[in-house]
Amino acid sequence: MRISSIIHMASEYFLLGIGSVSIGIGIFLIIYFLIYKKIMKGTKKLNTSKVLLWSIFLIYIVMVLGATFVHRIPGMYENINLHIFSSYIKVWNRFSLLELRNLILNILMFVPLGIMLPLLFKKCEKFYITYFLGLCMTIFIEVLQLVSKRGIFEIDDIINNALGCMIGYGIIMIFLLFSKRNKGSLKSKVFALACYQIPVIITIISFGTIFINRGYSNINRLF
């Protein structure tokens, strides 16, 4: 599957996500204004920024589930690959474009999760909570794919998804750390931020090494 085909598929599930979330928001607003405000005389104000963030997050979840389940035919897959870094080894040994695309997409797919979690949940500003939730989500998807036979359970997919979540977390913490001017010294913030960027640094070095040594001349074939 070429990148252009993947983008087309993503746009379809994006529209599905918008439709699903729009229906959900409509139901929520009816409950909020009609039942909570009118009938129950509630006084708590609606946080529009939170509603927007949750809407974006739910659209993202629909897109991920669509890409990993809906477009796949049940019963086509039932394999388990527990060989760690096997996809990286394939790319290194024979520069498999299919494996390379899968690696990149599996990482990118979970970057939004790492960005959204700290914005939605205060506790997720702690790196280990976001990392743990990202790991739980990718394991859930892999197990569900295996049970439904809509995908292959692969250790590398779990690693790449978790890595993407870590990268997303590092991106959003650039903004969140320095928005808290009264918490912690500048030195401690810079040190923490540098640590949060370790996953993206490792990713850049790894893929940079692959491109330079194994196939930078074939990158145009990805598209």
61 and 137 in a common domain: no
- Reported as a single tens digit per residue, the pLDDT across 160-219 is 999 999 999 999 999 988 776 546 677 888 888 899 999 999 999 988 888 777 655 555
- Mean of pLDDT values over 44-73: 80
150 and 86 in a common domain: yes
**DSSP states along 142-172:** HHHHHHHTSS-EEHHHHHHHHHHHHHHHHHH
Our count of domains for the chain comes to 2
| pLDDT at residue number 133 | 97
172 and 108 in a common domain: yes
| pLDDT at residue number 131 | 97
| Domain with 62 in it | 1-71
154 and 124 in a common domain: yes
Please report whether residue 119 resides in a domain: yes
103 and 28 in a common domain: no
User: With left for phi above 0 and alpha for psi between -120 and 50, is residue 40 left, alpha or beta?
Assistant: alpha
- Reported as a single tens digit per residue, the pLDDT across 125-158 is 999 999 999 999 999 999 988 888 777 889 999 9
142 and 98 in a common domain: yes
User: With left for phi above 0 and alpha for psi between -120 and 50, is residue 156 left, alpha or beta?
Assistant: alpha
For residue 94, the number of C-alpha atoms closer than 13 Å in the C-beta half-sphere is 6
Per the model's pLDDT, the better-predicted residue between 2 and 164 turns out to be: 164
137 and 206 in a common domain: yes
The rounded distance, in Å, linking the Cα atoms of 154 and 7 is 23
Contact 185, 170 (CB under 8 A): no
Q: Which of 71, 100, 128 is the last residue of a domain?
A: 71
Asked whether residue 5 carries a pLDDT value surpassing 90, the answer given is no
44 and 85 in a common domain: no
Please report whether residue 223 resides in a domain: no
- Reported as a single tens digit per residue, the pLDDT across 11-54 is 666 676 677 777 777 777 777 676 666 666 666 777 778 888 88
Q: Which of 33, 52, 71 is the last residue of a domain?
A: 71
The rounded distance, in Å, linking the Cα atoms of 135 and 137 is 5
Please report whether residue 76 resides in a domain: no
51 and 152 in a common domain: no
- Reported as a single tens digit per residue, the pLDDT across 85-127 is 888 888 888 877 777 888 888 999 999 999 999 999 999 999 9
pTM summary value: 0.82
Q: Which of 71, 96, 130 is the last residue of a domain?
A: 71
| pLDDT at residue number 1 | 46
